[in-house]
């Protein structure tokens, strides 16, 4: 088996992975594995922007309070403080790397300051953006820097399968358990290779693809979470899948996001009768926190039997809309919707996983040698519900904190000298069965959408759990007998993440943030009083632990 060694092994080429690679490249040899093209990621699709306190009238305290309020009593205050306070420095990192943000111009058309927009749950304008394609601008710029950097090797089409724990390298190894690297499928050759690093970092992103309808890219299958779980790390809070209220509703497009920034610029949600309904549910109307907007839309659709609601932008200036939201404007137009003239049909979809691999604010997991950063991690920043545009910020802050930790210890660490155990290729292979794989994918995703969606109940969750146990057994069977293929690897991962999400949801005996269960209809109102920074003492993380294989 081909075995390669480096100082820092990063799995994932989204914002978290690229930012860490750039920060570590002066200290050692960095290898990044990316399971498809390096551009394929949630980062590249991010629209709204990045939250940071930049305006004079805003304050860190405001951003902290907004994050805690959205998080419904479950945020970790020290993490929120750390990330919010360093946000302006992380924006400066982006500017130094060459990222552009939209700017405001004065009367003389001189560039004045970075333009700040608003999104749900933010009490001030504090979202830096580049048109409606912030993620693409950030990702494009960092990727260029990475590709130019001689100390970083970026390998596309390399699918990380399972972490290598030192016991797998040498069964007689008496050293403490440590992650030393990963097995990875080279999708071009079909061979499994081993990559060993002094430190291994999971930056594999989210798991929207566990659900039938999602805003996420097609590879958001929770691979890092499933890998960490199989290796014995603790996984936390998977019941908190955030549903974005507004994805385009069109038979040919169910995963295109209609950014919350449209509501930040005056967009109004209306139902099929043309009624602006959000004020019935929350004083902030269409700009209420995401969980409330998504649940209200779900309720309106169920009440009327309509397939969608609408986002009305027609009262805004048409030229402003075309300039401020060029990608959304042209995407809608492709489907025959001119958003300057007609309300946009929208529905909620799975968007962001607040839970993940349990880490501290620098990405350290339970397993020495293994870090997890970005959406795949659960630091406690988001608690039970993420504040809009805090996740790109989290990627940057975690990459920065992780680089400090790694920078301090890299010189004292050694990359594993033993070669890992050979990969065992199953003998059986039947390509006709690929259709079964896609049926199982579809079954899991539909099951999660129908039974583990915006509104849950114990009965629905139990039904989902029962069905998932059977599917998991079938998936295991396929995995161990089938020729290795990325579709099976992803199926195995979504089956595990779906099952863990249901287990977490069943263990939470309350409704909180984005987890809403009809059997516990009381939603605790966690009022954060002026100047007080606290979480709800009754709120607990839901933590799952798996022993080493
Ligand atoms: P990603 O950017 O998803 O990158 C994951 C990487 O891991 C990819 O390169 C992938 O190929 C790789 N990978 C995964 N599994 C494997 C494997 N097994 N082997 C090898 N490589 C693997 N957040 C905001 O803050 N502001 C926004 O405006 C915003 N808008 C959004 C809009 C959309 C449509 C979506 C989907 C999300 C949005 N988010 C936004 C959320 C935000 O984009 C993500 O949380 C963030 O980009 C995650 O970055 P990441 O680096 O953790 O993961
Ligand atoms: C959006 O643009 O609505 C997405 C913002 C986010 O998910 O943070």
CA distance 504 to 508: 6
pLDDT of residue 112: 73
Say how far apart CA 182 and CA 359 lie, in whole Å. 19
Are 440 and 304 in the same domain? no
Note whether 105 and 195 are same-domain residues: yes
**What mean pLDDT value characterizes the chain?**
93
* 497 CA → ligand 2 middle, Å: 23
Assess if residue 422 is contained within a domain: no
Mean pLDDT within 314-325: 96
Quick one: which H or E segment has residue 193? strand 192-202
* Shared domain check, 148 and 91: yes
Nearest one of 278, 346, 324, 354 to 48, comparing CA atoms: 324
Q: What pLDDT score was predicted for residue 537?
A: 81
* Domain count along the chain: 3
Relative orientation angle of helices 223-231 and 486-507, to the nearest 10 degrees = 70
The encoded tokens of residue 333 equal 């137009």
What does the DSSP assignment read for 230-298? HHT-EEE-TT-EEEEEEEE-BTTBSS-B--THHHHTT-EEE-TTS-B-GGGT-TTGGGS-HHHHHHHHH
CA quadruple 29, 35, 40, 43: dihedral, nearest 10: -60
Catalytic residue among 230, 263, 290, 508: 290
In this structure, are 296 and 197 located in the same domain? no
Domain limits for position 221: 3-239+354-412
pLDDT, position 530:
56
Give the model confidence (pLDDT) of 257-282 as tens digits: 999 999 999 999 999 999 999 999 99
Q: Is the pLDDT of residue 255 over 90?
A: no
CATH number at residue 208: 3.50.50.60
Answer yes or no: do 217 and 170 share one domain: yes
Joined together, the tokens standing for residue 16 give: 């978290």
Asked if 363 and 347 sit in the same domain, the reply is no
Q: Is residue 438 in some structural domain?
A: yes
pLDDT at 175 over 80: no
What is the reported pLDDT for 526?
62
Q: Quick check: is 54 in a domain? A: yes
**pLDDT > 70 in the chain, percent:** 95
- Over 90: is that where the pLDDT of 77 sits? yes
For the packed helices 458-481 and 486-507, what is the interaxial angle rounded to 10 degrees? 150
Of 79-83, 173-177, 531-535, the one with minimum mean pLDDT is 531-535
pLDDT above 80: residue 105: no
**Residue 537 covered by a domain:** no
> How many angstroms separate the alpha carbon of residue 132 from the centre of ligand 2?
10
Pocket of ligand 1 contains residue 500 by CB under 6 Å: no
Closest ligand 1 atom number to CA of residue 205? 53
Q: Nearest residue CA, atom 31 of ligand 1?
A: 46
pLDDT at position 107 over 70: no
Whether 290 sits among the annotated catalytic residues: the reply is yes
Looking at per-residue pLDDT, the higher value among 292 and 138 belongs to: 138
Q: Which atom of ligand 1 is nearest to the CA of 51?
A: 25
Q: Is pLDDT at 413 greater than 90 in this prediction? A: yes
pLDDT digits (tens, 9 = 90+) for 463-520: 999 999 999 999 998 888 888 899 999 999 999 999 999 999 999 999 999 999 999 9
Nearest-ligand number for the alpha carbon of 353: 1
* Per-residue model confidence (pLDDT) at position 548: 56
Question: What pLDDT, in 10s, does the model give residues 217-251?
Answer: 999 999 999 999 999 999 999 999 999 999 999 98
Q: What is the pTM of this model?
A: 0.96
Q: Is residue 200 part of a domain?
A: yes
Residues 162 and 298 in one domain: no
Report if residue 533 sits inside a domain: no
142 plus 251 within the same structural domain: no
Compute CA distances 67 → 354, 376, 542, whole Å.
13, 19, 20
Let me know whether 269 and 320 are in one domain.
yes
Nearest CA to ligand 1 atom 18: 160
CATH number of the domain enclosing 311: 3.90.700.10
State whether 454 and 393 are in the same domain.
no
Q: How confident is the model at residue 168 (pLDDT cuts 50, 70, 90)?
A: confident
Question: Are 177 and 114 in the same domain?
Answer: yes
Compute the distance from residue 305 Cα to the ligand 1 centre, in Å: 33
Q: Is residue 417 in some structural domain? A: no
Question: Among 389, 396, 514, which is best to mutate for testing ligand 2, by the most ligand atoms less than 8 A from CB?
Answer: 389
- 284 and 178 part of one domain: no
For the chain, percent of residues with pLDDT exceeding 90: 83
In a domain? residue 233:
yes
pLDDT digits (tens, 9 = 90+) for 328-361: 999 999 999 999 999 999 999 999 999 999 999 9
Q: Say how many Å lie between the CA of residue 433 and the centre of ligand 2.
A: 38
């Amino acid at each position: 088996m081909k075995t390669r060694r480096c100082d820092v092994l990063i799995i994932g080429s989204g914002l978290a992975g690229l930012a860490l690679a750039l920060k570590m490249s002066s200290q050692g040899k960095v290898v990044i594995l990316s399971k498809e093209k390096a551009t394929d990621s949630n980062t590249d699709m991010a629209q709204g922007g990045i939250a940071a306190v930049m305006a004079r009238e805003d304050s860190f305290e405001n951003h902290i309070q907004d994050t805690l309020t959205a998080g419904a009593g479950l945020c970790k205050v020290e993490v929120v403080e750390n990330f919010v306070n360093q946000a302006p420095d992380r924006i400066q990192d982006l500017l130094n790397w060459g990222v552009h943000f939209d700017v405001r111009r004065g009367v003389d058309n001189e560039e004045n300051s970075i333009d700040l927009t608003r999104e749900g749950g933010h009490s001030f304008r504090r979202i830096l953006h580049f048109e409606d394609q912030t993620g693409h601008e950030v990702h494009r710029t960092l990727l260029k820097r990475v590709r130019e950097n001689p100390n970083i090797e970026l390998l596309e089409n390399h699918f990380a399968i399972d972490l290598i724990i030192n016991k797998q390298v040498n069964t007689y190894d008496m050293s403490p358990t440590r992650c030393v690297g990963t097995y990875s499928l080279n999708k071009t050759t079909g061979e499994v290779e081993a990559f060993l690093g002094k430190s291994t970092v999971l930056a594999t992103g989210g798991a929207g693809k566990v659900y039938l309808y999602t805003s996420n890219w097609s590879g958001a299958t929770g691979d890092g979470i499933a890998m960490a779980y199989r290796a014995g790390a603790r996984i936390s809070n998977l019941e908190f899948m955030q549903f974005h209220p507004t994805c385009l509703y069109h038979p040919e497009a169910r995963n295109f996001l209609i950014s919350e920034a449209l509501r930040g610029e005056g967009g109004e949600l209306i139902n099929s009768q043309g009624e602006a309904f959000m004020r019935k549910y929350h004083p902030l109307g269409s700009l209420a926190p995401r969980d409330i907007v998504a649940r209200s839309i779900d309720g309106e659709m169920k009440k009327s039997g309509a397939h969608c609601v609408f986002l009305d932008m027609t009262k805004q200036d048409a030229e402003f809309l075309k300039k401020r939201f060029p990608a959304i404007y042209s995407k809608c137009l492709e489907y025959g919707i001119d958003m300057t003239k007609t309300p946009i049909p929208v529905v909620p979809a799975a968007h962001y996983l607040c839970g993940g691999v349990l880490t501290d604010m620098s990405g350290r997991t339970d397993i020495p040698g293994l870090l997890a950063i970005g959406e795949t991690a659960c630091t406690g920043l988001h608690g039970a519900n993420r504040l809009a545009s805090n996740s790109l910020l989290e990627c940057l802050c975690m990459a920065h904190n992780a680089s400090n930790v790694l920078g301090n210890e890299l010189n004292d660490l050694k990359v594993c000298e033993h070669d890992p155990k050979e990969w065992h290729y199953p003998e059986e292979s039947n390509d006709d069965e690929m259709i079964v794989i896609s049926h199982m994918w579809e079954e899991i995703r539909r099951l999660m959408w129908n039974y583990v969606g915006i509104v849950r109940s114990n009965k629905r969750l139990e039904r989902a759990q029962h069905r998932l146990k059977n599917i998991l057994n079938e998936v295991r069977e396929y995995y161990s007998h089938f020729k290795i293929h990325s579709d099976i690897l992803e199926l195995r991962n979504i089956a595990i993440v779906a099952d863990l999400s249901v287990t977490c949801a069943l263990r939470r005996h309350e409704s909180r943030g984005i987890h809403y269960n009809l059997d516990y209809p009381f939603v605790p109102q966690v009022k954060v009083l002026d100047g007080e920074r606290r979480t709800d003492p009754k709120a607990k993380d839901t933590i799952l632990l798996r022993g080493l294989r």
